[in-house]
Amino acid sequence: MTTTIRTRKSTKAMLWVSVLLLSLGSCEQYLDVDPQDKVAEEQMYRNVYDADAAVIGIYGKFMGLAKKYVILNEMRADLMTTTNNSDPYLKELSEQNVSAENPYVSPKDFYLVIQNCNDALKNFDIMVAQKKFTQSQYEQRYADVACIRSWIYLQLGIQYGTVPYITEPLANIEDVKNINKFPRLSFNELLDELVTFTEGLTYKKIYDSGSSLLVTVDGYNTEKFFINKECLLGDLQLWKGNYLQAATHYKNVMETGTPRNDVDMYRIKYAEVVTNNDLAVGYLRYYEQDATTLVDNNTQGWRSIFGRDRDVLWNTEWIWSLPFDSDFAPKNPFIEIFSKTGGKYLAKPSKRAIDLWQSNTQSNGFPYDARGQKFTYKMVGGEPVIMKYIYKYEAAANTFKTDGDWFLYRAAKLHLRYAEAANRDNQHKIADALLNFGIQEAYTPAGYNNSTGDATDIKQTKLPFPYDFDARQGDFPSFRAIWHRGGGIRGRARLQRAEIVGDPLISIENNIINEAALELAYEGNRWEDLVRISLRRNDPAFLADKVYEKLSKEGNANAAEIRSKLMNVNNWYLPFTW
Amino acid sequence: MTLLKYKKLLFIILTIGLVSCSSPWDDKEDNGDANLNETLNEAISNTPETAEFGKLLAQTGYDKILAASKTYTVFVPTNEAVKAVSTTILNNPEALKKFVENHIALTSYSSVRNNNEERIQMLNAKYLTFKGSTTIGDATIVTADHYAANGVFHVVNKALAPKLNIWEYVTSQAGTSAMSNYLLSLKEFSIYDADAIAKSTAAPGFLADSLSNSFLKNVYNLNNEKNSYTLFLMENDGFDAEVTKMIPYLNKPSADLTAIYSKYFTVRDMVFPKAYTKEALPAKLTSRFGVEFDVDKTQIVGEPIVLSNGIVYIMKKVDVKLEKRLVTTKIEGEKNIAYYGVRSRMLYRDKKGPISLLYPDGLYNDLMVELPALPQFTLFYHANDMFSTKYKIYWRAINDRTANLFEQQLAIGGTVNQTATGFPLVNITKTFPMVIVPLNNYEEVEIGEFTYTTAGSSGLISLIGGTKSTSALTLDYLKFVPVVP
């Protein structure tokens, strides 16, 4: 069989042309496929669920700041110090001598989250204009993201002093550094901006109970994921020096449980001495003199604030806490920092912090504050290890089960901040009561008989909001007022009273900041507490002396030099470079 | 025909291809450094000044090990140094192997290191101190940092014959030194009951040597190459004199036992966990058992013997004062071994008392039974190592609770009757009078005297509460102070 192909020039040319045409035309559509695992811009912000995804996404990014937040606020202050394992950059922070290449100081991570916030806020505006979600849905989500942004800016102000305040999404993140485009605001100017903007938000509560954001995600209830806007506003006003407004905001949070007559919510409840099912420092009943009966586990007592699951009792203490789960990104950064067995043991309590706890005396006469050597840190192989962040990890007894939390706001911090504002607003007695043994104890007259007395006219402040507390408890007639269980911070910690020495304003304020060290150590509050009080009193020594004491107690030869450096406020702030 | 033509062509092309191509593998390996083409073994053998040591490597089979792909450091003695090595080593294959091993360490240590001075482990498990680029052990480095494919070698001026460790040295003195004989005899004899158990259950392995001899177990493991020690080895006369001093205080049921324990309580204070050179010897030393003595350098015989894990001083005598030898026994209140009563009534307290010279931080831990809920609540204690002598007994018992009556007495000796329904202690040797502990007394109080006729176990020491069910007890510590005549 033979096949003959007749070839002519014209047919050949035709063939080539058609091949060319086909190849050109066919490519266009085939190659333009939408990716399966990425969301295109026009697919975002279509409805309220997209908006929810944006909010959750921002919180996911926000969690990446946890390590920096804790390290910058604790390593630079007086309670935390470096170990033999610490890298030189941590030492620089501890010794207040930060080099330009130090990775902990770059503000870029903060601005990346701010950029996300700005982008979401802009799109929320567009969505509501296009009626893609309701006004109420808009206000709630807008306020949430706006408050995260304000919170980050407050941190930036505390750490860097002068920073650019950017509220629009940027095409290029490097523009943040461009001083011509974005002039830097001083810390005070920044605070003004933040107060004005955040107070201006129309929605200041937590999400509506019916909101699509209040769900259970991967086994975690999301309610406590979100920033508490009133706490943030209280903090901003406290920094600004508007004490009445600060106290008002804080008090709103303290009364969270009041409408539903919840007597435990955010009230620093006294110890349950019979069952030890509480958040207090406790011993077995009747054996309070036996140190071996200390309630030291993840489900009872003060330690369980950090170790327990997100249950009812947890809910009465925690206001804002973000969980790290080994099954999901981001990874828990705290195990690497603190654990000696599963991490690198990069940070430990300073000698000064240890001495601080040991200088207290418990109500049972034990010569220490158990919150220190028994709970916040423990001795492992002769060295102190910060335990707060790793109780869950240790309990799991599995190297890969790296669950934990970023501790952001809890009732004890709320009470201390409220007390700080109230004290400055001349409510010394209330401040002292919340710090020590609670309102009921402070407002009960001497010689009053608790079992037979008439409590009608006592155990209450009889002041207008935000200084109204009713802690009445009595049986003739019967009273169980909303604050009757408040045991005070030191009461819950089973400590003796912090006495007022000299001027009550200054003395109580000192006691409050001191107490914050004992109660909230390593939760990322110390540096900002020291900065806030020093600025308020215009007394750099308040901060400088404490850092000096930390360094000198560990035998740092440059301690005195560092102290004199810190006597200049400008040296408190980190260089704004990346 | 055409096929054949192609075949020829193909063959020619292939041949050209094979010849013209260089091997990329060889190109990669050849980095222009001739040193890296030789293994350590070849490098040592090929270097003229170290060829002798190269021969020893071949003789012991270490040439093959140094040709392997692990990384090593070799300290190579010069030919002259190898010639100076004694024939007892060179002619004994086993000794020669150990000798060669003592020159080789795993991984490469160049003269540039992070630590200026470090102890590195050689292949025979002994450690040598490597100082900068100057010395290794007692040899001086002639030229450092010769490198080869699998490590570095340093040429040294002296052969590093392996040294004995302290325990091996003691073993070598058997027969001539009475003190050495005694130390070795503790392999058979068990000073404490726990020693016998340890010896019988000691699994072979790295802990075995520390368990198999009562001295190594209870004092320091002188067989441990990783640490350094100083041992004072007394000559026979001096040793006997010291032992004789101890005999009255270590009275045992038989004269033989008395002799053994007198020796033990003499030698246990002669070891220290640090190698002190002669210059660095302090004027006073305190043993881990709290016995202090003056170091009399004039009694040192000859030069100190430097060994692989420390230094031995041969001493004419080491004169330890009797009152230093007879140490006080302190028993902590919170370290009770048993109790009669209810566990939950016992309060292990963390406390702070007044600050004084004796208690510089004021902190103390004690055991208090505040509400015993039964009469004669009892806490039991025990101590080893009592001397056969008279003791003065003190306690520090703190009563800081106003509401209770603290009534307690001390008793020594006796046994617990396990079947008793009430107070279980029977056959008490001595009961001290009942004491009412006064409020807020933070000082030591003398309780009385007790004489042990036999050395060793204290017998049961009991703190017994009063006969009322409210008679509380409290104890910070007990102190047994030997009365030295």
The ranges assigned to domains in chain A are 42-411, 418-552
Q: Token pair for residue B199?
A: 């010896």
Which residues touch A33 (CB under 8 Å, ≥6 apart)? none
- Reply yes or no on whether the pLDDT at B117 is more than 90: no
Are residues A290 and B362, on separate chains, in Cβ contact within 8 Å? Answer: no
Average pLDDT, chain B: 89
Nearest to A367 among B351, B370, B371 (CB): B351
Nearest to B347 among A290, A361, A367 (CB): A290
Residues of B in contact with A289 (CB under 8 A): 347, 349, 368, 370
**Global pTM value:** 0.80
Interface test with A, best of B346, B350, B359, B364 (most A CBs within 10 A): B350
**How many pairs of residues across A and B have Cβ atoms under 8 Å apart?**
32
Contact B484, B391 (CB under 8 A): no
Confidence at residue B115, expressed as pLDDT on a 0 to 100 scale: 74
* DSSP-derived secondary structure letter, B417: -
CA distance B454 to chain A (A): 37
Confidence at residue A1, expressed as pLDDT on a 0 to 100 scale: 46
Identify any residues that bridge with B330 across adjacent strands, giving them in sequence order. Answer: B479
Model confidence pLDDT, tens digit, residues B28-38 = 656 677 788 88
User: Which domains, from first to last, does chain B contain?
Assistant: 34-156 (2.30.180.10), 166-325 (2.30.180), 329-482 (2.60.120.260)
Mean pLDDT of B134-157: 90
B358: left (phi over 0), alpha (psi -120 to 50) or beta: alpha
Confidence at residue B33, expressed as pLDDT on a 0 to 100 scale: 78
Q: Which pLDDT band holds residue B68 (cuts at 50, 70, 90)?
A: confident
Model confidence pLDDT, tens digit, residues B204-257 = 776 677 778 999 999 999 988 889 999 999 999 999 999 999 999 999 999 999
For B347, nearest residue in chain A (alpha carbons): A290
Are residues B344 and A284, on separate chains, in Cβ contact within 8 Å? Answer: yes
Give the burial class of B29: count Cβ atoms within 10 A of its Cβ; 0-12 exposed, 13-18 middle, 19 or more buried: exposed
Backbone angles phi, psi at B29, to 5 degrees: -70, -35
Are residues A366 and B349, on separate chains, in Cβ contact within 8 Å? Answer: yes
Are residues B351 and A365, on separate chains, in Cβ contact within 8 Å? Answer: yes
Cα separation, B468 vs A212, in Å, equals 69
Contact A152, A113 (CB under 8 A): yes
CA distance B369 to chain A (A): 10
Contact A66, A53 (CB under 8 A): no
Nearest to B349 among A291, A361, A368 (CB): A291
Confidence at residue A15, expressed as pLDDT on a 0 to 100 scale: 67
Residues of A in contact with B350 (CB under 8 A): 291, 366-368
Model confidence pLDDT, tens digit, residues B144-155 = 898 888 899 999
Which residues touch B159 (CB under 8 Å, ≥6 apart)? B77, B81, B82, B84, B85, B99, B103, B139
- Reply yes or no on whether the pLDDT at B408 is more than 50: yes
Name the residue type at position B205: G
Are residues A361 and B400, on separate chains, in Cβ contact within 8 Å? Answer: no
Nearest to B350 among A286, A287, A291 (CB): A291
Cα separation, A163 vs B406, in Å, equals 67
Residues of A in contact with B363 (CB under 8 A): 367
Which residues touch A449 (CB under 8 Å, ≥6 apart)? none
Confidence at residue A52, expressed as pLDDT on a 0 to 100 scale: 93
What does each of the 578 residues of chain A score in pLDDT, given as a tens digit?
445 455 556 666 766 666 655 555 554 455 566 667 766 667 788 899 999 999 999 999 999 999 999 999 999 999 999 999 999 999 999 999 999 889 999 999 999 999 999 999 999 999 999 999 999 999 999 999 999 999 999 999 999 999 999 999 998 999 999 989 999 999 999 999 999 999 999 999 999 888 888 887 666 778 899 999 999 999 999 999 999 999 999 999 999 999 999 999 999 999 999 999 999 999 999 888 899 999 999 999 999 999 999 999 999 999 999 999 988 888 999 999 999 988 999 999 999 999 999 999 999 999 999 999 999 999 998 999 999 999 999 999 888 899 999 999 999 999 999 999 999 999 999 999 999 999 999 999 999 998 888 999 999 999 999 999 999 999 989 999 999 999 999 999 999 999 999 999 999 999 999 999 999 999 999 999 999 999 999 999 999 999 999 999 999 999 999 999 999 999 999 999 88
Place of tokens 């600050």: B355
A184: nearest Cα among A166, A198, A168: A166
Residues of A in contact with B355 (CB under 8 A): none
Which residues touch A521 (CB under 8 Å, ≥6 apart)? A74, A79, A349, A353, A372, A376, A388
Are residues B349 and A290, on separate chains, in Cβ contact within 8 Å? Answer: yes
Confidence at residue A21, expressed as pLDDT on a 0 to 100 scale: 57
- Reply yes or no on whether the pLDDT at B114 is more than 80: no
Cα distances (angstroms) measured from residue B219 to each of B192, B199, B266: 12, 15, 12
Length of chain B (residues): 485
For A366, nearest residue in chain B (alpha carbons): B351
Confidence at residue B20, expressed as pLDDT on a 0 to 100 scale: 57
Nearest to A289 among B349, B352, B362 (CB): B349
Query: What is the crossing angle of helices A526-537 and A541-553, to 10°?
Result: 140
Q: Token pair for residue B209?
A: 């040597």
Q: Which pLDDT band holds residue B19 (cuts at 50, 70, 90)?
A: low
The top-level CATH class assigned to A42-411 is mainly alpha
Cβ of residue A291 closer than 8 Å to a chain B Cβ: yes
Contact A125, A539 (CB under 8 A): no
Residues of A in contact with B351 (CB under 8 A): 365-367
Confidence at residue A19, expressed as pLDDT on a 0 to 100 scale: 60
Identify any residues that bridge with B315 across adjacent strands, giving them in sequence order. Answer: B234, B300
Letter string b/e over residues B256-278, b meaning 16 or more CB atoms within 10 A of that residue's CB: ebbbbbbbbbbbbbbbbeebbee
Q: What angle do CA A143, A149, A153 make, to 5 degrees?
A: 140
B379: nearest Cα among B344, B413, B421, B334: B334
Nearest to B346 among A290, A365, A368 (CB): A290
Q: Token pair for residue A46?
A: 């279509």
Are residues A367 and B346, on separate chains, in Cβ contact within 8 Å? Answer: no
